[in-house]
Amino acid sequence: MTQANQDKDDFISPEAESYSAAAEVGFVRKRRTRFERGWIELKKAPLSALFGLTVICIYMFIALFAPIIAPYGEADVFPTPYGPWSPEHWFGTDQIGRDVWTRLIYGARNTMGIALVTTLLSFIIGGGLGLVAAINRSWLDQFLSRAVDVLMAIPSLIFALMLLSIFGSTVSSLIVIIAVLDSTRVFRLTRSVAVNVVVMDYVEAARLRGEGIGWIMRREILPNIMPPLVAEFGLRFCFVFLTIAALSFLGVGIQPPTADWGSMVRENASLIQFAQYDLTAALTPLLPAAAIALLTVAVNFVVDWFLHKTSGLRDEH
Amino acid sequence: MHPVLATVLQRLGLGLLTLFVVSIIIFSSIELLPGDFGEAVLGQAATEDTVAAFRKELGLDQPAWKRYIDWVAAVAQGDLGTSFSGRSSSGVDRSREVIELIAPRLENTLFLAAYAALISVPLALFLGITAALYRNSIYDRAVNAATLTTISTPEFFVAYILILLLASLNPIFPSLANITMDTPFLERVYRTALPALTLTLVIVAHMMRMTRAAIINLLASPYIEMARLKGVSRSKVILKHALPNAWAPIATVIAFNLAYLVVGVVVVEVVFVYPGIGQLMVDAVTTRDIPVVQACALIFAATYIILNLIADIIGIITNPRLLHPR
Amino acid sequence: MNTENENPPSRKGDLILEMRNVHIDGFSDERWHEIVKGVDLTLKRGEVLGLIGESGAGKSTLGLAAMGFARPGCKITGGSIMFDGIDLVKASEDEKRRLWGSRIAYVAQSAAAAFNPAHRLVEQTVESTIDHGIQGEEAAMKDAVELYRSLQLPNPEEIGFRYPHQVSGGQLQRVMTAMAMSARPDLIIFDEPTTALDVTTQVEVLKAMRDIVDKYDTAAIYITHDLAVVAQMADKIKVLRYGEEVEEAPTRQMLEKPEQPYTRSLWAVRSLEKPEDISDDIILSIRHVDAAYSDVKVLHDVSINLPRGRTVAVVGESGSGKSTTARVITGLLPPLAGEVTFKGTPLPSRLKDRTKEQLQKIQMIYQMADTAMNPRQTVEVIIGRPLTFYLGLSGRAREKRVIELLEMIELDESFMDRLPGELSGGQKQRICIARALAAEPEIIICDEVTSALDQIVQEGILKLLLRLQKELNISYLFITHDIATVRAISDEIVVMFQGKVIEQGPKTEVLEPPYPEYTELLLSSVPEMDPDWLSNLTELEQAAK
């Protein structure tokens, strides 16, 4: 149901019986630039989305300018391990005397950076294959889909643990292993969304016109599956981010001396025992965990809003 | 053959096939090991003889397919191989059977998972169904916001907050879940309260959201509207018209979350130093004790596959279209 | 029965339903819109009101409001709805529940979705009478069988023990009528009950519904967008548009002299008729084509000739193979046997093997203009792409041609940068026509191009197609299930049934007797704008027996 039809009450005036096709939807919407439309949407965004966006921006800023913001070097060691919160060390020092605040800042960079690269890689692999499978729909689709079914039958954390035990816990193997495992989910989503688009008449129309596969993929399908993919990117990023944090927490992810939130929790976990004597010290291991939680909550809020917006758009059509 | 039986058998076959392929993947992991891992396991000082003997023990002198068959045959008889740890360069072998390592820990893990499931499944179903029935109420919004936050939070964060609040600041529960074979049942329940609570919180969040979505989807069906317009009472709409069609989605939700629980235990066991199979696997990964990793992975994967299979089958046997073919 | 329909009978007396100034809001795009804007409606016992309007007119919403029900996302914001002295706007849920299923019943559009898949039909049929304590279980079951019988369901004793997925759509719709009738309600709301059915099935269902409503003297609101259908069912007709009443009158008066121009425009498409023009200059020829989807054979020895500059209408019900024929012509579905020749030379059977020129000369327009255009491309790109692709136009030249094409389809250059979502249904279909024209084709295959459109827009599109044919001498292969459309546009007609061509010939020959059996069934099943049509049909059938 087009709202426009209802708002514009009479395209046939009672007097004149002549019918004008051009007047059916009488209003001409002013075409705005992408930026203008974005700004308008932003102004209408709910509080949770704005909060999410703000948090993400702050995190990105910290990650980009870590060396400038951080008071000390990433691996600088000070004489007092488990030092208390103080003006020199805002959040104290860790088990071998490194400044916790500094490592939190560098941790943003490392944890988010690695998660981002991994997610991108998994989208390149899973998204690409998913598109091909959706268009091809032959033995290739069958093969890929079955293979993904099998890979998804193994819980991904377990699979990751197994592969890490074989290839060792280097950053590159971490990225590749998680990206490949995660790409199965991306493949499924891309394929299922794209399959719905591939059967559309406009894709058939393009095929009947004689268009090549490249045009059909880039111009007919991709623009129409972008919204769910973008939303999925946010969710996959959270998932990857949490997986890497969990692996690091388990001690098989990002290895020291690289600062990383997951392993920081593990390294300082024992401080929690002292909550009754020094609450601030007990909070130290919770800071990186909270940093992780805050980011994922923020991304989820934004994705929720985005999904709401884009699905609303679809209703209009 | 009756279509239900045919479909169930087909699913079972598919499940077995998946398990077969998964076992091949897990088995081949040993193939992917770098060539010098013998030295890595036995230590730098290992002689060529001990390394060769070790390789022979693993059967690396035999073709892969034969080793696979031997391995599967052994696994089927409960023999999961011998751990890599406890070996030394001198050739003295103090290693233990993997099954010995795993059996007691598997029991512990199942205990913890069952503990969490017993609390979380009824709770999540209750919250999910009530939130769906009273959707957009304040109750619904509150439950939704709370669960969205929990979902976005790493398990270990939830765990440490619980430790901080319920063990450290207010020493109600122990922060470490130390149990042994002889710990009496009630003592076990008490000591594992925090890990079980952590898992419950995480699972309830996921499950409640999925249940809510499934029920809302169901309540939007035209036949529910029809039932209301026939003047059927509210409770009867739910019990007679919604519920018979809800088993399949609910079973899927439960299976998915129990499977999730199986994986979730890994992190929680590490946090609470709980002697379960997850902790064992993580340790084995750190020491690259491949036979143990393989065995654990196989157990996790099999549980996962079986749970999903059960959900599938429940979906099939409650589907009226299959139950009453044309 | 016949007489009851002709003169409003005397026993139809007291007012049963009175709706005054009803306002209903619906929630979409994050705000409330008024869907029904102050409509009055009155209904006497035993009277049938036809509620007619196009999509978005608010007729279903109003129909449900007559039960005091608003779908989730809708709310009744004003006015009064009095059912036999009870105000349904103010009534509590419990009060309304006592009425629903006992004194007011509802028949939904899609029977397949409105039956609970988990229960047997008879359990659902008798549920409300038992629940409301009107009948005991045994009596209710017996009565259900009687109702099935009077609705002419096959095996009335046995059919109730089946599950919804085990019976056909037409039968389900009749079972739902039995369900609504089980408590002998005072009022039934029929919400587009035959829209999803094929014409030949529709006739049976309409007959059954009308007979049973007559038999028990039930008041009814019959909601539809099809005038000919409502003419058979209703004593009086109310026309709705954008949530407001256009006019209301007794059926005959409404059909003979509608007062409002909008109502007249609803009639217009049925009066359109193209003078027949026969030609022997065959441009496209389908010869002895067999085709199958995987291993199900759907076309059997199909041969069709399309003359240059003429229209051949392919008529048939769903599953008759008419759309498959189009897929064979375009090369999407290579045939098992037979060939398609274009200007005397065979076309390669597969799309991939055809030359750009062969593709260019045969264009296609689809039923759903919504899905036929990429929602992320502007009108300029949609129309411009064939210009670039086939004719190599670009820049200013392309832009100029796009504007020319827009003018040909009675739109203008202000449409250039609109997205499909910003167009109305009729405009979308026009853009699709322009896209086909851009390729400068000799043949356009039109697959049900007007059936998803509102009546008034259909007329515009058909007129446009006729004008373009005259100007550009294009041939149309026009696939449709609607006889009125066939009259309006075709020179020749092909009747298809179960993958075979039953009859082919000039329009006047096919539409005049003698008919082959199926053509007769098909033609006689199409409701006409004559309130006596259904009655006459029934009489004829009985006489034949």
Burial environment of residue B66 by CB neighbours within 10 A (0 to 12, 13 to 18, 19 or more): exposed
Report strand pairing: C187-191 vs C74-83: unpaired
- Structure tokens given for C480: 């449709």
Residues C355, C481 within the same domain: yes
- Whether residue C204 lies inside any domain: the answer is no
- The kind and range of the H/E element at B237 are none
Let me know whether C249 and C315 are in one domain: no
| A19, C427 Cβ separation under 8 angstroms | no
Query: Nearest C-alpha of chain C: how many angstroms from A295?
Result: 28
- Beta carbon pairs, B and C, within 8 Å: 77
* Residue B263, domain CATH: 1.10.3720.10
Number of domains in chain B: 1
- C478 and C340 in a common domain: yes
Q: Does residue C85 come out as left (phi exceeding 0), alpha (psi in the -120 to 50 range) or beta? A: left
Residue C372 has its nearest CB partner, among A9, A12, A201, at A201
Q: What is the C-alpha radius of gyration for chain B, rounded to an integer number of angstroms?
A: 24
Give the residue from chain A lying closest to C387, CA to CA. A209
CB atoms within 10 A of CB C73: 10
- Tokens of residue B52, six digits: 């060769």
Where in the sequence is the domain holding C408, given as residue range(s)? 283-524
Residues of A with CB below 8 A from B274's CB? none
- List the domain range (segments joined by +) for residue B136: 98-286
Residues 119-148 of B with CB under 8 A from A: 148
Q: Cβ contact (<8 Å) for B270 and A250?
A: yes
Nearest CA to CA, how far is B251 from chain C (Å)?
Answer: 17
Euclidean distance between CA atoms C197 and C173, whole angstroms: 9
Q: Are residues C420 and C510 in the same domain?
A: yes
| Residue B321 near chain C (CB below 8 Å) | yes
Question: What Rg do the C-alpha atoms of chain C give, in angstroms?
Answer: 26
Distance CA C248, CA C271 (A): 22
Q: Is C354 on the interface with A (CB under 8 A)?
A: yes
Alpha-carbon gap, residue B201 to A20, rounded angstroms: 61
* Stretch A134-148: mean pLDDT: 86
CB atoms A154 and B22 under 8 Å: yes
| Smallest Cα distance from B255 to chain A, Å | 13
pLDDT of residue A11 exceeding 50, the answer is no
Q: How far is B9 from chain C (nearest CA, A)?
A: 23
Does residue B152 fall inside a structural domain?
yes
Number of H-type helices and E-type strands within chain A: 14, 0
Of the candidates B21, B154, B169, the beta carbon closest to that of A275 is on B169
Cβ contact (<8 Å) for A250 and B267?
A: yes
- Percent of chain A scoring above 70 in pLDDT: 87
Evaluate whether C282 touches C310 at the Cβ level (below 8 Å).
Answer: no
Task: Name every residue in A having a CB less than 8 A away from some CB of B.
Answer: 149-150, 153-155, 157-159, 161-168, 238, 242, 245-246, 249-252, 262, 265, 269, 272-276, 279, 282, 285-286, 289-290, 292-293, 296-297, 299-300, 304
Q: What is the CATH number of the domain that holds C229?
A: 3.40.50.300
Strand order in the sheet with C187-191: C104-107, C187-191, C219-224, C48-52, C236-241, C244-250
Cβ-contact B134, B238 below 8 angstroms: no
Q: What is the pLDDT of residue B265?
A: 84
Q: Do A290 and B175 touch (CB under 8 A)?
A: no
B247 within a domain of the structure (yes/no): yes
Of C477, B267, C147, the C-alpha closest to A250 is: B267
Give chains near A: 3+ CB pairs under 8 A. B, C
What pLDDT, on a 0 to 100 scale, did the predictor assign at position A4?
A: 37
* Of C125, C159, C166, residue with least CA distance to C143: C125
Q: Beta C104-107 vs C187-191: how paired, if at all? A: parallel
Residues C520 and C372 in one domain: yes
Q: DSSP state, B166?
A: I
CA distance B128 to B143: 9
- Taking the C-alpha atoms of residue C50 and residue C63, their distance in angstroms, rounded to an integer, is 10
Do C155 and C222 fall within a single domain?
no
Q: What is the pLDDT of residues C446-470, one digit of tens each?
A: 998 888 787 778 888 899 999 999 9
**Substitution target from A51, A154, A261, A263 for chain B, most B beta carbons within 10 A:** A154
Task: Mention every residue, 6+ apart, whose C-beta is less than 8 A from residue A200.
Answer: A224, C371, C372
Backbone angles phi, psi at C224, to 5 degrees: -160, 170
Match 């009496």 to its residue by tokens: B184
* B217, part of any domain: yes
Measure the CA–CA gap between B189 and B183, rounded to whole angstroms: 10
Chain C residues close to B237, C-beta within 8 Å: none
Q: Which two tokens stand for residue C108?
A: 């939904």
Cβ atoms of C356 and C390 within 8 Å: the answer is yes
Pick from B163, B263, B293: CB nearest A157: B263
Instruction: Determine, yes or no, domain membership for B312.
Output: no
Residue A32 confidence (pLDDT)? 61
Q: How far apart are CA B41 and CA C157, in angstroms?
A: 78
Please indicate, yes or no, if residue C3 is contained in any of the structural domains.
no
- Considering its fold, how many domains does chain C have in total? 3
Residue C308: which H helix or E strand, with range? Answer: none
Q: Mean of the pLDDT values across residues A232-240? A: 89
Domains of chain A, earliest start first: 55-310 (1.10.3720.10)
Residues from chain B contacting residue C163 (CB–CB below 8 Å): 320-321, 324
Query: Position C325: which residue type?
Result: T
Q: Say if C368 falls within a structural domain.
A: yes
A155/B288 touch (CB, cutoff 8 Å), yes or no: no
In a domain, B26, yes or no: no
B250 domain-assigned: yes
Can you tell me the distance from the alpha carbon of C51 to that of C57, in angstroms, rounded to the nearest whole number?
10
| B227 close to C (CB below 8 A) | yes
Same structural domain, C333 and C393: yes
- Please state, in angstroms and as integers, the Cα–Cα distance from residue C310 to each residue in B296, C242, C444, C475, following that order: 74, 38, 11, 5
SS3 of chain C: helix, strand, coil, percent, to 5: 40, 25, 30
Residue C482 counted as domain residue: yes
Residues C29 and C176 in one domain: no
CB distance C461 to C482 below 8 Å: no
Residue C530 counted as domain residue: no
- C99 closest CB neighbour out of B222, B228, B231: B231
Contact B229 C106 (CB under 8 A): yes
CA distance C391 to C372: 22
User: For residue B193, how far is the Cα from the chain centroid?
Assistant: 19
Say if residue C77 is in the same domain as residue C114.
no
Question: C-alpha dihedral over A216, A219, A225, A227, to 10 degrees?
Answer: 180
Please give chain B's pLDDT, 326 residues, in tens: 788 888 889 889 988 888 888 888 888 876 676 655 666 666 666 677 777 777 777 666 677 788 788 888 887 777 777 777 666 555 555 667 788 888 888 889 999 999 999 999 999 989 988 888 887 788 888 888 888 888 878 888 889 889 888 888 888 888 888 887 777 888 888 989 999 999 999 888 888 888 888 888 888 888 999 999 999 988 888 888 988 888 888 888 888 888 888 777 888 999 998 998 988 988 888 887 888 888 888 888 888 888 888 888 888 888 888 888 76
Nearest to A12 among C265, C373, C435 (CB): C265
pLDDT at A314 over 70: no
Q: Which amino acid is located at B151 in the chain? A: I
Q: Please indicate, yes or no, if residue B195 is contained in any of the structural domains.
A: yes
Q: How far apart are CA C469 and CA C477, in angstroms?
A: 12
Res. A316: pLDDT tops 90 = no
Mean pLDDT of chain A: 81
Do C449 and C323 fall into the same domain? yes
Give the tokens for residue A307: 């999904």
**Same domain (yes/no): C148, C217:** no
Q: Is C37 on the interface with A (CB under 8 A)?
A: no
Rounded Cα gap, residues C306 and C494, in angstroms: 10
Q: Does B235 touch chain C (CB under 8 A)?
A: no
Determine the distance from the C-alpha atom of residue C310 to the mean position of all C-alpha atoms in its chain, rounded to a whole number: 26
Same domain flag for C331 and C432: yes
- How far is it, in rounded angstroms, from Cα A111 to Cα A104? 10
Q: Which of A47, A161, A242, A302 to mutate to test the interface with B (most CBs of B within 10 A)?
A: A161
- Going residue by residue through chain C, which has 545 residues, state the pLDDT in tens, using 9 for 90 and above: 343 344 344 345 688 999 999 999 987 766 788 889 989 999 998 899 999 888 778 888 999 999 999 888 888 998 999 998 889 999 998 999 999 999 999 999 888 889 999 899 999 999 999 988 888 889 999 999 999 998 888 889 999 999 998 888 888 988 999 999 898 999 999 998 887 788 888 888 888 888 888 888 899 999 988 888 888 889 999 999 888 999 999 999 988 888 888 888 777 666 777 788 888 889 999 999 999 987 888 899 999 999 999 999 999 888 888 889 999 999 999 999 999 999 989 999 999 899 999 999 999 999 888 889 998 899 999 999 999 999 999 889 999 999 999 999 988 888 888 888 888 888 999 999 999 999 999 999 999 888 878 777 888 889 999 999 999 999 999 998 888 888 888 999 999 998 999 888 898 888 887 788 888 888 888 888 788 888 888 888 888 76
Decide if B144 is inside a domain. yes
Is residue C497 assigned to a domain?
yes
- C167 to chain B nearest CA, in Å? 8
Can you give the pLDDT at residue C286?
93
Q: Please, which residues have CB within 8 angstroms of residue B6's CB and are 6 or more apart in sequence?
A: none
Question: In A, which residues are within 8 Å of C365 by CB distance?
Answer: none
The residue ranking higher by pLDDT, A157 or C544, is: A157
- CA–CA distances in Å: residue C467 to residues A121, C265, C309, C312: 55, 19, 12, 16
Can the peptide bond before residue C335 be classed as cis, meaning omega within 30 degrees of 0?
A: no
